[in-house]
Structure 1
Amino acid sequence: MKKIVKKSCFVCIFLLLLILSGCGFKDIDKRIFVVSIGIDTASNSQKKYDISLKFVIPGTKNEPDDFLIVSEKANSISEAVRMIKTKVDKEIDFGHAKVILFGQDLLREKLPVEINYWFARRRDIQQIAWVGVGKPSALDVLKVKPKSEQLPSNALFLALGKDGSETPYIIPPFYYDFKKRLTEKGLDPMLPIIQAKESLFTINTMALTNKKKMKTILTSEETKFLNYMLNKEGKSVLKVNKGKDMIIIETQKVKTKYNIITPPGKQPYIHVKLKVKGRIEEAIKAVHNEKLTHYEKESEKMLNKRMKKFLEKVQKEGVDPIGFGMRYRSRHFNSNDWEEWQHIYPTLKFKVQSNVQIEDTGLIE
């Protein structure tokens, strides 16, 4: 009886082995790794997109790592990847792709929704990849090789990940956040603009989009105010002018709160409160402790005015990167809350109240 059972087990195992297919595993030396991806509008072609993949080429003991950029024009990223496979000798691996760039001209026309779905469906695309806008094109940014960069695209990783420089002018969204903003009512996408300049790149402005295309570009100062509203980075500087006097405050902590007020029968408004703590980093002349209150009041007036102007610009463009609409919907539980918000948002007023505390004059006495 035991022999019959054993023989039956062996027969079953043999049959299972016959129907199982190979797992398709390839050794690491037979793979070529993508570190960043660029999507541009295809020029002088009937195709829609120009897809660029930046591959890392491992160096030897005496040679540094290098990179290879391969581009292909196609109507979809799936088609482009299949064609790029015919141009390289190894299996393409997206497991290390940490930056996805859209060309500025592409976003001016429309957001490539079908490409975003491709990124979401690919299990080997990291959902923690950063997303940005390449200027003048995504390919131009991929070609930049800063002298300080030791690994291909590592300079972008450090800048967007803030493992390197810390600045209020960079607000790097992850892909999962970008994807959520494409579909979430009351919250619109925002993307940092990465501008290629010879052997370096500059990141100090933001592109704001609705669900269809790019609507406006924020200046460096407006990007900083967006950072304040999102409570992303508290370290920055505020320049305050009063006649011939000028001081620059190094902010060490910035905290922002807001409430959406809809009083019955009255004008709805958003009450924004900013609390800033810092010290004087630069001044035309010496600033003593007894004058700190004066400069704090002037700083508050300046901040109230500029923040209100920034919020009104965003409102005028009909975009909502801060998520006012999502906040409103979360506090109004009815079937037409979204329609109500669409009616309210264009007519909202902004009331900004800031509190600036200068804790140190920066002088050595």
Structure 2
Amino acid sequence: MLIPFLVNGCSFKDIDKRSFVTSIGIDKSELSGKKFKVILKISLSKGDPATIGADFTLLSFDANSISEALRRMKSMTDKELFYGHTKTILIGEKVAIGDIRPLLDYFVRRPEIHKTAYLSVATPSAYQVLQYKPKEERVAGSYLFSMFEESSSDSPFVKALTLFDAYRRETETGINIAMPVIEVQNNKILVDTIALFSKKRMETKLNPKESALFRLLTVGIKDGITNIKTKDGTYAINISKGNASFKIKEDKNHMLSAFFLIKLNAIVEEKMDNQNNLSDDQIKKIQDETEKKIKKEVNVLLDNIQKTKLDPIGLGLKFNSKNFYHRNWDNFYPNLKFKVNVACKINGAGIVE
């Protein structure tokens, strides 16, 4: 009879006594003696506590640690701050150029925050990005989440990064962090660039063209676009599907080369300076020019990334997976040679015939 009284119950709190945090932002504090400005984006219910709309409020606090700021913000609301619906974590650009390792370590250790939350560099600041309210947003914070969710966005520029992947790239040898940059520009949200990190901080950014090529080399692209010029005219080529694979080989002189194979399926989407129907020979010329252009651009991108001594693609990870003699990848990477092959197949003339 006494056994039921000895069983512990679960800790339960009604939904109307919780504040749902959908996004977290970390900016550099402008207050003297404070390190961070932590921002919480909280979704507001509409009458019915179970109904969540697009209305939100922002809470912020300046402190020397994230945990201190979150504890102090508990006193700013009459409800419990609930982080189970946090889908995005924004790191202000001024914070990103500093040491981000403590941030990643904190969020990975915090059990309430899902490891699948998306990370992004926010410019000019996380606060300005979080306070932006898109008209098409139905649930507060869902717009940012949809920007990175693969099933929602087919953008050829966005390379999503989850919390667990960022922590893996920060702690694993042979690979570096590549984080999307989200920017408020002309009262609109723009995500078309990627920031490259060392093990400690943001080092450089890729422009939109380089970001699209980087996505092609890593996770592949859908619905990409490039302009091709031949002696017959200029054409807009829609890359309906593109992906890449690579392997590392060592020659007799112990020199390493990275071989990339890029496969593209495309259509001629637009003829920009003539209206003549395309012949098979013309389509073949467009295919050849597309292969030459992508090969040249990829080689330039790989060379530029190599000069930064960063490895966001994971070439070192591939090398270490077959490195039975425990050789140091850093000694080989500066002299690594890149060999790129592109196979493009244009399936038709698209909408122009």
Per the shorter chain, which TM-score range? Answer: over 0.9
Partner of 2:74: 85
Q: Which residue identity is paired with 2:306?
A: Q
Partner of 1:67: 56
* Cα distance in 2 between the residues matched to 1:364 and 1:68: 49
- The alpha carbon displacement at 1:244 in A equals 8.1
Q: Which secondary structure does the structure 2 equivalent of 1:271 belong to?
A: strand
Which moves more between the two structures, 225-234 or 29-38?
A: 225-234
Partner of 1:3: none
Q: 1:96 to 1:240 in 2, by over 3 A?
A: same
Partner of 1:298: 289
Partner of 1:331: 322
Q: Which secondary structure does the structure 2 equivalent of 1:259 belong to?
A: strand
Alignment equivalent of 2:170, drawn from 157, 182, 204:
182
Residues 234 and 255, structure 1, Cα contact 8 Å, conserved in 2: no
* Cα distance in 1 between the residues matched to 2:343 and 2:220: 18
Q: Which secondary structure does the structure 2 equivalent of 1:78 belong to?
A: helix
Residues 288 and 361, structure 1, Cα contact 8 Å, conserved in 2: no
What pairs up with 1:343-362 in 2 under 5 angstroms? 343-362=331-350
Asked if residue 227 in structure 1 is aligned to residue 208 in structure 2, the reply is no
Which segments of 5 or more consecutive residues in structure 1 lack a partner in the other structure? 1-8
Asked if residue 39 in structure 1 is aligned to residue 34 in structure 2, the reply is no
* Cα distance in 2 between the residues matched to 1:66 and 1:146: 11
* Cα distance in 2 between the residues matched to 1:71 and 1:359: 53
Q: Which secondary structure does the structure 1 equivalent of 2:127 belong to?
A: helix
- The alpha carbon displacement at 1:68 in A equals 0.8
Residues 59 and 65, structure 1, Cα contact 8 Å, conserved in 2: no
| Alpha-carbon displacement from aligned partner over 1:51-109 (angstroms, at most 9, x marks no partner) | 00110011137995410101111111110011000111111100000000100111112
Q: Which secondary structure does the structure 2 equivalent of 1:152 belong to?
A: coil
Q: Which secondary structure does the structure 1 equivalent of 2:309 belong to?
A: coil
* Cα distance in 2 between the residues matched to 1:269 and 1:212: 27
When normalised by structure 1's length, the TM-score is: 0.90
Q: Which secondary structure does the structure 2 equivalent of 1:155 belong to?
A: helix
Partner of 1:27: 14
* Cα distance in 2 between the residues matched to 1:363 and 1:220: 26
| Alpha-carbon displacement from aligned partner over 1:235-255 (angstroms, at most 9, x marks no partner) | 311222346832121112213
Report the number of matched residues: 348
Asked if residue 56 in structure 1 is aligned to residue 43 in structure 2, the reply is yes
Q: 1:92 to 1:23 in 2, by over 3 A?
A: same
- The alpha carbon displacement at 1:198 in A equals 5.0
Q: Which residue identity is paired with 2:87?
A: K
What pairs up with 1:201-350 in 2 under 5 angstroms? 201-242=189-230, 245-265=233-253, 267-284=255-272, 285=274, 286=276, 287-334=278-325, 336-337=326-327, 339=328, 341-350=329-338
Residues 171 and 192, structure 1, Cα contact 8 Å, conserved in 2: yes
What pairs up with 1:110-149 in 2 under 5 angstroms? 110-111=99-100, 113-149=101-137
- The alpha carbon displacement at 1:322 in A equals 0.8
* Cα distance in 2 between the residues matched to 1:183 and 1:133: 19
Which moves more between the two structures, 298-307 or 245-254?
A: 245-254
Partner of 1:102: 91
* Cα distance in 1 between the residues matched to 2:341 and 2:122: 36
Which moves more between the two structures, 345-354 or 323-332?
A: 345-354
When normalised by structure 2's length, the TM-score is: 0.93
More strand by share: 2
- The alpha carbon displacement at 1:268 in A equals 2.4
* Cα distance in 1 between the residues matched to 2:346 and 2:208: 23
* Cα distance in 2 between the residues matched to 1:64 and 1:301: 49
- The alpha carbon displacement at 1:364 in A equals 5.6
- The alpha carbon displacement at 1:13 in A equals 6.4
- The alpha carbon displacement at 1:155 in A equals 1.1
Q: Which residue identity is paired with 1:78?
A: S
Partner of 1:200: 188
Which segments of 5 or more consecutive residues in structure 2 lack a partner in the other structure? none
Q: Which secondary structure does the structure 2 equivalent of 1:179 belong to?
A: helix
- The alpha carbon displacement at 1:163 in A equals 3.6
Residues 221 and 243, structure 2, Cα contact 8 Å, conserved in 1: no
* Cα distance in 2 between the residues matched to 1:173 and 1:277: 26
Q: Which residue identity is paired with 2:317?
A: M
* Cα distance in 1 between the residues matched to 2:149 and 2:53: 23
Residues 269 and 351, structure 2, Cα contact 8 Å, conserved in 1: no
* Cα distance in 2 between the residues matched to 1:165 and 1:13: 51
Whose radius of gyration is greater, 1 or 2? Answer: 1
